[in-house]
Amino acid sequence: MISTNEFHTGITIELEGEIYNVLEFQHVKPGKGAAFVRTKLKNMRTGSIVDRTFRAGEKVARAHLERREMEFLYRDDDMFHMMDMESYEQIALSAGQIGDGVKYLKENDRLNVLMYGEEVVGVDTPLTVTLKVTEAEPGIKGDTASGATKPATLETGLVVQVPLFVDSGDSIKVDTRTGNYIERA
């Protein structure tokens, strides 16, 4: 059990049979009345975000998540097959379980899978990934002063806006949180 006074961003709790990740919290002490903790919680199973207010000092169950390093082996329609790097056990995850990370996954990538007991509740993708540009229009000479961008299709099928000097065959770094081009790799 953990007190609401000990909340911090990123902690996971179990509440009413669901697992939540604390995205934001604010300890409020009004001039009149008892203190309380206002939180924004993300449901780890469904991805929905809820606002919840707790009394200060209220106890809630802490959910202990295990991070297992896994390697992405291959994709079969909507299923992504992963291999546990310790036990070499293979599991299949749906695109819904992986979330937005499916846009950045290529074979042999390693990522952390969040497990609650034997249930997969989420996937941590790296903050940046290096992907190869498969298709990009050639840049126009002399148009670089305006800081213009063009769409480029990456090896995973993701389309990203890149500077004009990026060509097909180049490798680029992409921020997985925003989906934006960072730099040429």
Q: Please state the rounded mean pLDDT for residues 161-183.
A: 89
pLDDT band at residue 36 under the 50/70/90 scheme:
very high
Residue % of the chain over a pLDDT of 90: 35
Q: What is the mean pLDDT of the chain?
A: 88
Render pLDDT for 136-156 as a digit per residue (tens, 0 to 9).
888 766 655 667 788 899 998
Integer angstrom CA distances of residue 75 from 46, 68, 78, 93, 112: 22, 19, 7, 10, 17
Report the alpha-carbon distance of residue 127 to residue 112 in Å, rounded: 12
- Domains located in the chain, CATH noted: 2-62 (2.30.30.30), 66-124 (2.40.50.140), 128-184 (2.40.50.140)
Rounded mean pLDDT of 42-55?
89
The upper half-sphere exposure of residue 173, i.e. CA atoms within 13 Å in the direction of its Cβ, equals: 8
Residue 135 pLDDT > 70: yes
Six token digits for residue 146: 């305006």
Mean pLDDT across 148-168: 88
> Residue 55 belongs to what H/E stretch?
strand 49-55
**CB-based burial of residue 183 (10 Å sphere; 0-12 exposed, 13-18 middle, 19+ buried)?**
exposed
Across the range 13-39, mean pLDDT stands at: 91
Q: Can you give the pLDDT at residue 120?
A: 87
Claim: this prediction has a pTM higher than 0.75: no
Query: Given the structure tokens 């806006």, which residue do they identify?
Result: 161
Asked if the model's pLDDT at residue 121 lies above 70, the reply is yes
Per-residue pLDDT at 146? 65
Distance CA(154)–CA(68), nearest Å, equals 28
- 95 — pLDDT class (breaks 50, 70, 90): confident
Q: Which residue has the higher pLDDT, 124 or 89?
A: 89
Report the distance separating Cα 40 and Cα 20, nearest Å.
10
CA-CA distance, 156 to 158, in Å (whole number)? 6
More confident position, 19 or 125: 19
